[in-house]
Amino acid sequence: MQGMETIKWIQRFQEILAIDSWISMLKFRLQTIFSLGKKESDLDLEMRFHLENLILENLKKGIKIEQARNEALQIFGQVEEHKTQCRNTW
């Protein structure tokens, strides 16, 4: 009889672990969904920071603002491509 009780206890424990695992996965997915807005905002700030630094470097070299911006964009590359690469790591 004790063997059957042990088997039932193990099965119940496995069920609890499965439920706990499912809850953890759901919690993680919900956190991901609700944090995407913040991540997107942070990503915009990060891209802007790097682009503005390149523009400032060009301005320090004496390049006019529009040309400094164009050259920074050329050096930095396509901002949306960088954003997509970052998003793919999320």
Residues 5-38 have pLDDT tens digits of 777 777 787 888 788 888 888 887 777 777 767 8
Over residues 47-61, the mean pLDDT reads 89
Mean model confidence pLDDT for the chain: 82
Backbone angles phi, psi at 26, to 5 degrees: -60, -45
Say which residue, 63 or 1, is predicted with more confidence. 63
Question: How far, in Å, are 6, 7, 10, 21, 86 from residue 13 at the CA level?
Answer: 10, 10, 5, 12, 40
Average pLDDT of 53-60? 90
The residue with greater pLDDT, 67 or 81, is 67
Q: Percentage of the chain surpassing pLDDT 90? A: 12
62: left (phi over 0), alpha (psi -120 to 50) or beta: left
**Which residues neighbour 59 within 8 Å (Cβ) at sequence distance 6 or greater?**
65, 68
Let me know: does 51 contact 76? Beta carbons within 8 Å.
yes
